[in-house]
């Protein structure tokens, strides 16, 4: 007898009840959450920021090596990251899930436990969503809602000449983590008795499977009285995101190769895979760090921050977007990161 419960035994209303039992509401702007035709929100004098993302099995994740709990957490984190990139505070999410017949009640509980943990961490309320059947694997769509004071939103279009270009954390780790996981999957498919070799790779694998949105830095920037002039989260690769800011701001930029922040585990693994670490940093993607520009006058406020690195500066549009080495030679950047189509 199977220890797992088929979804058909629970039904849609039973599943909604199961999910709702573990949800805790935290925000005063949430008037009514799960359980009615729609959620009711009352943000008072704030502006509303809305973002949505879809994750598809076989396109954005591989369940061979991605635990459902991590997947649930990641689905929330990548949406919160978009809210962070607007300089806003996330408050609510809705989650739509399409499931194949092979999924059990226990599997869905694992997925929603990851979602619940992320909601707890980012202090957001799960206020609704939909569940339906799927003939094409697992699909997760999350919509995140945030609040911000009037005039406080940071767009991609505000960078100005002489602004400093900054990034949070380190880059390239999520991409290298994916390379390790793909290698171990191939080894497993060749020999199912093989145990994955992840010793010394925990950090980069974790960056791929369970990324964090950098809301911590958003709160710290507010405490430092810094409002970025432009900002974007790094989902498709640093080069691609920098070009988005430059294009929408009508400026150019120079970033310095020696200033790019990287973790030693990422660097060692790139060498192991015969990959250029700089290429991984510039084009890897899925780090969900923040790329932002600040006025030159704010340099002293961030120069000793352990999690913010100044990597370059904004230039005139005619200069283009360039990567410079320590000798001052500049090379035009090309976005080679994730392409959606």
Indicate whether 200 belongs to any domain. yes
Whether residue 131 is found in the same domain as residue 176: no
- The percentage of residues in the chain with a pLDDT greater than 70, rounded to a whole number, is 94
> What interhelical angle do 264-272 and 173-190 show, nearest 10?
50
Whether residue 107 is found in the same domain as residue 190: no
Q: In which domain, by residue range, is 209 found?
A: 164-332
User: What phi and psi, each to the nearest 5 degrees, are found at residue 92?
Assistant: -140, 155
At 246, is the pLDDT very low, low, confident or very high (cuts 50, 70, 90)? very high
On the CB side of 218, CA atoms within 13 Å amount to 26
Indicate whether 338 belongs to any domain. no
Residue 338 has pLDDT above 60, yes or no: no
pLDDT of 73-118, one tens digit each?
Answer: 999 999 999 999 999 999 999 999 999 888 898 999 999 999 999 9
Whether residue 91 is found in the same domain as residue 185: no
Contact of 277 with 271, CB cutoff 8 Å: yes
What number is the average pLDDT over the span 123-137?
Answer: 91
Indicate whether 305 belongs to any domain. yes
Whether residue 141 is found in the same domain as residue 173: no
Whether residue 32 is found in the same domain as residue 107: yes
| Amino acid 33: pLDDT | 85
| Amino acid 23: pLDDT | 73
Q: Please report, for the domain that includes residue 322, its CATH number.
A: 3.90.650.10
Residue 63 has pLDDT above 80, yes or no: yes
Beta strand extents in the chain (DSSP E only): 30-32, 40-41, 47-56, 89-99, 125-133, 139-148, 164-168, 230-233, 252-256, 290-294, 308-315, 321-324, 330-332
Whether residue 118 is found in the same domain as residue 256: no
pTM, two decimals, is: 0.91
Query: Of 123, 148, 173, which marks where a domain is finished?
Result: 148
Domain count, the chain: 2
Indicate whether 241 belongs to any domain. yes
pLDDT of 150-208, one tens digit each?
Answer: 999 999 999 999 999 999 999 999 999 999 999 998 887 788 777 777 889 999 999 99
Query: Of 86, 117, 148, which marks where a domain is finished?
Result: 148
Lowest mean pLDDT among 83-87, 294-298, 335-339: 335-339
């Amino acid at each position: 007898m199977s220890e797992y419960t088929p979804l058909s035994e629970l039904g849609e209303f039973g599943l909604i009840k199961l999910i709702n039992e573990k949800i805790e509401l935290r925000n005063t702007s949430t008037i009514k959450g799960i359980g009615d035709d729609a959620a009711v929100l009352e943000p008072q004098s704030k502006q509303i920021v809305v973002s949505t993302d879809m994750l598809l099995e076989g396109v954005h994740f591989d369940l061979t090596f991605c635990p459902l709990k991590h997947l649930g957490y990641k689905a929330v984190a990548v949406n919160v990251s978009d809210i962070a990139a607007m300089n806003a505070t996330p408050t609510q999410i809705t989650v739509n899930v399409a499931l194949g017949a092979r999924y059990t009640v226990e599997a869905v509980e694992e997925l929603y436990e990851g979602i619940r943990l992320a909601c707890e961490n980012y202090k957001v309320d799960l206020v609704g969503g939909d569940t339906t059947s799927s003939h094409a694997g697992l699909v997760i769509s999350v919509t995140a809602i945030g609040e911000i004071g009037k005039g406080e939103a940071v767009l991609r279009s505000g960078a100005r000449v002489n602004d400093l270009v900054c990034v949070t954390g380190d880059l390239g780790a999520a991409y290298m983590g994916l390379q390790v996981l793909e290698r171990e999957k191939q080894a497993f498919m060749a020999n199912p008795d093989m145990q994955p070799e992840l010793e010394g790779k925990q950090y980069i694998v974790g960056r791929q499977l369970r990324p964090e949105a950098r809301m911590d830095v958003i709160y710290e920037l507010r405490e430092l009285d810094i409002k970025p002039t432009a900002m974007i989260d790094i989902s498709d690769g640093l080069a691609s995101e920098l070009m988005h800011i430059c294009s929408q701001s009508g400026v150019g930029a120079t970033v310095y190769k020696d200033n790019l922040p990287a973790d030693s585990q990422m660097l060692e693994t790139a060498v192991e895979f015969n990959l250029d670490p700089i290429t991984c940093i510039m084009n890897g993607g899925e780090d969900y760090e923040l790329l932002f520009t600040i006025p030159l006058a704010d340099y002293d406020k961030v120069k000793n921050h352990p999690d913010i690195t100044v990597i370059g500066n904004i230039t005139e549009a005619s200069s283009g977007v360039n990567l410079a080495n320590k000798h001052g030679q500049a090379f035009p950047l090309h976005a080679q990161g994730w392409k959606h189509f």
